[in-house]
């Protein structure tokens, strides 16, 4: 929220998320005039109601619902099943809606449902939509309110490797619209305005990470196979997803052309962890050597935002490239940056 406001993004177009928003964060959202606040718990409803009453404002809110859907993705990024921290069950959300309507302080604009990340088909969305639209209908009937909005969250997959085949935004939009239209028609209700949050699908493909090779180490595998361990000048400090989610990436030799035969390679980082892997399996030219540059595409979504200074490794810069020109938009960290917060 702070970054968006600093970039002069219109506050009324922001949706403010979080499963544990502090009173200070909620107050900042109210003072900025954020367009929608997604409420995640009873505690948060009470917290925001108290702040809004004190400021004499009536912010628009959505209730985050977990629809009990098992998305076909890694368990750490599946967010709609019951046994996880996000959102309210269908029953709890109905009760929360009643509390919001009875208090009359917050404006309940609709429901929010996010089933997970890196999803390539609409099957799980269809199941979730059926349940959420059913709840939407019940709340409107039970409490005599209109819910003009429905947010289906994000999670639309992007291509990290050649094995990934994401659908186009227009195909996804058309499929989701048809799903909601069908469910609303079956219940005889007006279709709410649908919104989605396709963050990864937008920013993920925009960026790649460029590493410099430091060492190359062939390792004998079972059956006489060889794997080449290609160590680069980064790793889990700039891309935690492989270690955290068992995520797959691709890689390519970027600094020169090579006609050397391919070899099975694993691109690894410089950190003191066996799980410090950037790309688990990739075929790279067998003559890759120290000093070469390796490019890993699809790193625009969660690499920089999840980056750390593990092992006191400074984070790399971010370079914008367009029309043959390059400029630094986030400078490289230095050792002085790492030490600047020490006060002892």
For 237-295, write each residue's pLDDT tens digit.
Answer: 999 999 998 999 999 999 999 999 999 999 999 999 999 999 999 999 999 999 999 99
User: If you average pLDDT over residues 11-40, what whole number do you get?
Assistant: 96
Of 154, 162, 145, the residue nearest 124 (C-alpha):
154
CA distance readout (Å), 142 to 49, 100, 135, 171:
21, 13, 10, 35
Looking at residue 148, which CATH number applies to its domain? 3.20.20.10
Look at residues 155, 188, 203 and tell me which one is the last residue of a structural domain: 203
Look at residues 203, 231, 249 and tell me which one is the last residue of a structural domain: 203
Does 223 lie in the same domain as 191? no
265 part of a folded domain: yes
Does 224 lie in the same domain as 146? no
CA distance readout (Å), 236 to 210, 258, 303:
14, 27, 9
pLDDT band at 52 (very low <50, low <70, confident <90, very high): very high
Catalytic-role residue among 184, 203, 272, 303: 272
CA distance readout (Å), 150 to 61, 164, 274:
11, 28, 44
Look at residues 203, 226, 249 and tell me which one is the last residue of a structural domain: 203
**Beta strands, E only, the chain:** 15-16, 36-39, 60-64, 107-112, 149-154, 193-197, 208-220, 226-232, 252-253, 262-268, 277-285, 293-297, 318-322, 325-330
Does 314 lie in the same domain as 235? yes
Question: What's the chain's average pLDDT?
Answer: 92
Looking at residue 242, which CATH number applies to its domain? 2.40.37.10
Beta-bridge mates of residue 180: none
φ, ψ dihedrals at 142, nearest 5°: -70, -35
- pTM for this model (two decimals): 0.87
322 part of a folded domain: yes
DSSP 194-221: EEEE-HHHHHGGG-EEEEEEEEEEEEE-
Count CB atoms within 10 A of the CB of residue 55: 12
Q: Which residue has the higher pLDDT, 83 or 212?
A: 212
Say if residue 101's pLDDT is above 70. yes
70 part of a folded domain: yes
Q: Which residue has the higher pLDDT, 155 or 86?
A: 86
pLDDT reported for residue 157: 86
Say if residue 155's pLDDT is above 90. no
287 part of a folded domain: yes
| Alpha carbons 77 and 219: distance in angstroms, whole number | 33
User: If you average pLDDT over residues 334-343, what whole number do you get?
Assistant: 94
pLDDT reported for residue 168: 83
pLDDT band at 76 (very low <50, low <70, confident <90, very high): very low
Does 219 lie in the same domain as 188? no
102 part of a folded domain: yes
- Is residue 256 helix, strand or coil? coil
For 178-231, write each residue's pLDDT tens digit.
Answer: 989 999 999 999 999 999 888 888 899 999 999 999 999 999 988 778 899 999
pLDDT reported for residue 71: 57
User: If you average pLDDT over residues 104-129, what whole number do you get?
Assistant: 86
Residue 189 burial (C-beta neighbours within 10 Å; 0-12, 13-18, 19+)? middle
User: If you average pLDDT over residues 39-57, what whole number do you get?
Assistant: 97
User: What's the domain count of the chain?
Assistant: 2
Does 222 lie in the same domain as 95? no
pLDDT band at 74 (very low <50, low <70, confident <90, very high): very low
User: If you average pLDDT over residues 162-191, what whole number do you get?
Assistant: 89
pLDDT band at 123 (very low <50, low <70, confident <90, very high): confident
214 part of a folded domain: yes
Say if residue 75's pLDDT is above 70. no
Does 299 lie in the same domain as 216? yes
Does 144 lie in the same domain as 71? yes
Pairing state between β 15-16 and 325-330 = unpaired
Residue 203 is a catalytic residue: no
Does 18 lie in the same domain as 148? yes
Instruction: Mention every residue, 6+ apart, whose C-beta is less than 8 A from residue 332.
Output: 314, 315, 316, 317
pLDDT reported for residue 172: 82
Nearest-Å Rg of the Cα atoms of the chain is: 24
pLDDT band at 67 (very low <50, low <70, confident <90, very high): confident
Residue-range definition of the domain harbouring residue 106: 2-203
Does 120 lie in the same domain as 215? no
User: If you average pLDDT over residues 110-127, what whole number do you get?
Assistant: 83
Does 186 lie in the same domain as 66? yes
pLDDT above 70 covers a percentage of the chain that reads 96
Lowest mean pLDDT among 61-65, 111-115, 250-254, 283-287: 111-115
Cα dihedral 280, 286, 290, 292 sign: negative
Does 242 lie in the same domain as 182? no
Does 73 lie in the same domain as 102? yes
pLDDT band at 80 (very low <50, low <70, confident <90, very high): very low
Place of tokens 């962890």: 273
297 part of a folded domain: yes
344 part of a folded domain: no
């Amino acid at each position: 929220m702070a970054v968006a406001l600093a970039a002069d993004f219109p506050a009324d177009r922001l949706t403010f998320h979080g499963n544990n928003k502090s009173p200070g964060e909620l107050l900042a959202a109210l003072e900025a005039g954020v367009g929608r606040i997604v409420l995640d718990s009873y505690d948060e409803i009470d917290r925001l109601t108290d702040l809004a009453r004190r400021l004499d404002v009536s912010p628009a809110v959505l209730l985050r619902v977990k629809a009990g859907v098992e998305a076909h993705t890694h368990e750490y990024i599946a967010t709609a099943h019951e046994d996880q921290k996000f959102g309210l069950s269908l029953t709890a959300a109905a009760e929360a809606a009643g509390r919001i309507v009875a208090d009359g302080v917050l404006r309940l604009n609709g429901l929010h449902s996010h089933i997970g990340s890196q999803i390539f088909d609409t099957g799980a969305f269809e199941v979730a939509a059926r349940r959420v639209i059913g709840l939407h209908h019940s709340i409107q009937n039970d409490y005599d309110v209109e819910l003009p909005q429905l947010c289906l969250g994000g999670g639309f997959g992007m291509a990290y490797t050649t094995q990934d085949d994401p659908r186009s935004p227009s195909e996804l939009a058309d499929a989701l619209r048809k799903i909601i239209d069908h469910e609303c028609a079956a219940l005889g209700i007006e279709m709410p305005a649908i919104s989605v949050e396709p963050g990864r699908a937008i920013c993920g493909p925009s960026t790649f990470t460029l590493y410099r090779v430091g060492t190359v180490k062939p390792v004998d595998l079972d059956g006489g196979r060889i794997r080449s361990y290609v160590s680069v000048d980064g790793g889990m400090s700039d891309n935690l997803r492989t270690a955290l989610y068992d995520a797959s990436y691709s890689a390519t030799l970027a600094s020169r052309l090579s006609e050397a035969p391919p070899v099975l390679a694993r691109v690894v980082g410089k950190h003191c962890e066996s799980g410090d892997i950037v790309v688990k399996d990739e075929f790279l030219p067998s003559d890759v050597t120290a000093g070469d540059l390796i490019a890993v595409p699809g790193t625009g979504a969660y690499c920089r935002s999840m980056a750390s200074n593990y092992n006191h490794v400074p984070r790399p810069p971010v370079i914008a490239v367009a029309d043959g020109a390059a400029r630094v938009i986030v400078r490289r960290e230095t050792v002085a940056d790492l030490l600047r917060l020490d006060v002892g």
